[in-house]
Amino acid sequence: MSSRLSLRDFSVGIALLLMGGFFAFKEPEFLSARNLSQLMTELSIVATLAMGMLLIILGGHIDLSAGSGVGLLGGLASVLVMQHDYSAPAAMGIAFVAGVVLWKAMGALIVMERIPAFIVTLGGLLIFKGMFWRTIDNSTIPVAPGGTSNLYSLLTTYYVPPKWGLMMATVLVLILVVITLRTRSQRLADGFEVESREIAFLKVFVAGQGMFLFVLITNQFRGVPLPALILGMVTLIVHVLTRHTAFGRHLYAIGGNEEAALISGIPVKRVVFAAFGIMGGIVAITGFMQTAYVGSSTTTVGELMELDAVAACVVGGVSLRGGRGSVMGVLLGSLLMVTLLKGMGLMNVSPEHKFMARGAVLILAAWMDVRLNRR
């Protein structure tokens, strides 16, 4: 659970620079304000799902049903709005609860019946896919009546005004400084080792620069997209859970050695069960954003998104064996995957070559994970 930067963090950063430079050279439009704003929206969707996947993988498990769940829960909300006249908030609330219940049910099978998560979630993938197609009746269901908008459709069409975006960035940087100082003081008071002031300052400085750069770039188009704020909230919650709560410490311990965690008194079943419940809520949120981004619920929404989430985690340094990984690594991994897909889309790369590129990145990241674990 060290906060120090690893070789993987630097390799992902270098890969991002090289990849971004290549796409900018081949397609100058890649650096346009419109394209970068769209990239941020797509990053927010993928990274939000990857945050949930991080919680599952940290505990030594896997979730193959996430993509089907994205389609199902987004489709359920669309059907409730369009065919049953529910308000958008009510429809999304019902779908959110359904997601938590479904994922808790899978978690119960995993922890109570000792069925491998791979099998349970693979079954969930098929069941949720069938339920999804049945829910929308294999048709296209809009997220809002024609010519109108609601909270559902605004999820990916609303932009924070530029002035407010800069104010939010300023407030976030100030909060980051306060949290860093308080955490450092607390660790010193408790007798724990802390990083040097120079490194702490550098981390805050780089994070602050990144926030302002993000706002300045998106302000060149329409402003900060709403999905970025949703990602920010989900990321903050997952960061606090994994780094500043007993739940997070237990999750790392379970992924590191479940038997040892059980012997030491950690409530393994309860922690894993809770992780799956949180994952269900995050899948629902991702489903709303992805469906809103497409503009309607169709049979292809969410397809293979679970693989993109897993790839983002592995690329970002999360060990598939569990017990190792960080929120920042997942964000970098998600950015790399989205940059790859967006760049290939601008270059009109054929779908089959896109699949091969995504698979190659995942295998390369898994190989790096194995190599680093041997050291």
> 131-139 long-range contacts, Cβ below 8 Å, gap at least 24?
131/72, 132/68, 132/71, 132/72, 132/75, 132/299, 132/302, 133/299, 135/72, 135/75, 135/76, 135/79, 136/75, 136/78, 136/79, 136/297, 136/298, 136/299, 138/299
| Domain-located, residue 299 | yes
User: Residue 372 — very low, low, confident or very high, per pLDDT cuts 50/70/90?
Assistant: low
CA distances from 347 to 23, 28, 127, 276 (A): 8, 11, 36, 38
pLDDT at 179: 83
Name the region of 317 (left: φ>0; alpha: ψ -120 to 50; beta: rest). Answer: left
- On the question of pLDDT at 88 being above 50, the answer is yes
pLDDT at 13: 77
Q: Which two tokens stand for residue 267?
A: 């409530």
Entry pTM: 0.91
**Residue 225 is inside which H or E element, if any?**
strand 224-225
- On the question of pLDDT at 375 being above 80, the answer is no
- On the question of pLDDT at 275 being above 80, the answer is yes
Please name which of 278, 223, 298, 238 lies closest in space to residue 100, comparing C-alpha atoms: 278
User: Residue 268 — very low, low, confident or very high, per pLDDT cuts 50/70/90?
Assistant: very high
Cα angle 297, 298, 304; round to 5: 105
User: How do residues 176-228 score in pLDDT, each as one tens digit?
Assistant: 888 888 888 887 887 777 777 888 888 788 888 888 888 988 898 889 999 99
User: How do residues 310-361 score in pLDDT, each as one tens digit?
Assistant: 999 998 889 888 888 889 889 989 999 999 999 999 898 898 988 898 888 8
| Domain-located, residue 202 | no
Q: How far apart are CA 115 and CA 113, in angstroms?
A: 6
pLDDT at 176: 84
The mean pLDDT of 81-103, rounded to a whole number, is: 96
| Domain-located, residue 74 | yes
- On the question of pLDDT at 2 being above 70, the answer is no
Give residue for tokens 């390369």. Answer: 364
Cα angle 341, 3, 59; round to 5: 70
The mean pLDDT of 12-22, rounded to a whole number, is: 85
CA distances from 353 to 124, 311, 360 (A): 28, 17, 10
Q: Which two tokens stand for residue 15?
A: 């890969």
Q: How far apart are CA 321 and CA 59, in angstroms?
A: 8
| Domain-located, residue 3 | no
pLDDT at 3: 44
C-beta of residue 254 within 8 angstroms of C-beta of residue 272: yes
Of residues 213 and 105, the one with the higher pLDDT is: 105
pLDDT at 63: 96
| Domain-located, residue 356 | no
Cα angle 109, 115, 119; round to 5: 100
Burial class (CB in 10 A: 0-12, 13-18, 19+), 190: exposed
Q: Which of 24-28, 101-105, 142-146, 324-328 shows the highest mean pLDDT? A: 101-105
pLDDT at 8: 55
- On the question of pLDDT at 230 being above 90, the answer is yes
The mean pLDDT of 31-59, rounded to a whole number, is: 94
User: Residue 116 — very low, low, confident or very high, per pLDDT cuts 50/70/90?
Assistant: very high
pLDDT at 373: 61
CA distances from 296 to 66, 81, 182, 293 (A): 19, 12, 45, 8
For residues 345-358, one letter each, b for 16 or more C-beta atoms within 10 angstroms of the residue's C-beta and e for the rest, the string is ebeeeeeeeeeeeb
Name the region of 323 (left: φ>0; alpha: ψ -120 to 50; beta: rest). Answer: left
Indicate the Cα dihedral angle 328, 333, 337, 338, nearest 10°: 0
* Mean pLDDT of the chain, nearest integer: 89
Domain span holding position 123: 33-161+223-303
In three-state secondary structure terms, 372 is helix
In three-state secondary structure terms, 296 is strand
Name the region of 193 (left: φ>0; alpha: ψ -120 to 50; beta: rest). Answer: beta
Contacts of 39 (CB under 8 A, 6+ apart): 338, 339, 342
What is the number of structural domains in the chain?
1
pLDDT at 295: 92
| Domain-located, residue 122 | yes
| Domain-located, residue 70 | yes
Q: How far apart are CA 133 and CA 300, in angstroms?
A: 10
User: How do residues 124-139 score in pLDDT, each as one tens digit?
Assistant: 999 999 999 999 999 9
Q: How far apart are CA 371 and CA 244, in angstroms?
A: 30
pLDDT at 190: 74
- On the question of pLDDT at 1 being above 70, the answer is no
